[in-house]
Amino acid sequence: MARLITDPNLARPDDVYQMLVDLLEGCDDEESCKRSARLILALANHIGDEAVLAEAAALARFDR
């Protein structure tokens, strides 16, 4: 069974962060939620493993 990768795994994390900031730039709360949801659904479809997605959802709920 696949596991969620939580170790750093991006070649250019600062560029990815900026891409995500740019995605939501200028959006009101409603549009920000819509864009975020579309991104999440696209990535969930790409991952395609319900167990990995459940692990990621549990991690997202965790208050650090």
Model confidence pLDDT, tens digit, residues 7-63: 999 999 999 999 999 999 999 999 999 999 999 999 999 999 999 999 999 999 987
pLDDT attached to residue 1 = 74
pLDDT attached to residue 64 = 59
The reply to whether 51 falls in a domain is yes
Model confidence band, residue 4 (pLDDT cutoffs 50, 70, 90)? very high
The reply to whether 19 falls in a domain is no
Residue type, 33: C
Residue 52 belongs to what domain range? 29-64
The reply to whether 45 falls in a domain is yes
The reply to whether 12 falls in a domain is no
The reply to whether 64 falls in a domain is yes
22: left (phi over 0), alpha (psi -120 to 50) or beta: alpha
pLDDT attached to residue 50 = 97
The reply to whether 24 falls in a domain is no
**Number of C-beta neighbours around residue 47 at 10 A:** 14
48 SS3 class: coil
The reply to whether 40 falls in a domain is yes
Number of domains making up the chain: 1
Q: Distance between CA 59 and CA 7 in Å, rounded?
A: 13
CB 51 within 8 Å of CB 2: yes
The reply to whether 11 falls in a domain is no
